[in-house]
Amino acid sequence: MGKHSVTSGRIWRTIVVSGAMLATPLAACGGGQHAQTTPQPATEDKAAADQAAADKAAADKAAADKAAADQAAIDQKAADDKAAADKAAADQAAADQAAADQKAADDAAAKKRPRGGGDRPRGRGFVLA
């Protein structure tokens, strides 16, 4: 039990001392009179406000130009993607047509008889009589 009270007492003293250290600058600096500041003339503020307004307008215009350029880039990319897709579809259609033509040619070659399949007239074959 004795050790517990020593530890908590040490913690409490640490908190009290640190709080006193924080409060010391506030107590030491609060006594003097401060000099009164005079407000600046309105003309300087008006010039600064005009300059700030001009800077803001320029920044807004730059942001709008950037947004328009970004939108144009997106539109161009979409058009390029569509053109690439159309080209790929046309190439696929041409490849399919070529494959169909080749298959038709192969089928026609397979149907041709090995002998006597030409255009000349056919006889009755070998007849014994």
Q: What is the pLDDT of residue 98?
A: 96
Which residues neighbour 116 within 8 Å (Cβ) at sequence distance 6 or greater? 122
Q: What is the pLDDT of residue 80?
A: 96
Give the pLDDT means over successive 10-residue stretches in the chain (129 positions): 68 66 55 66 73 93 95 95 96 96 87 62 66
Q: What is the pLDDT of residue 78?
A: 95
Can you tell me which residue has the tokens 């979409």?
78
The domains of the chain are located at 46-109
Q: What is the pLDDT of residue 47?
A: 83
Q: What is the pLDDT of residue 109?
A: 78
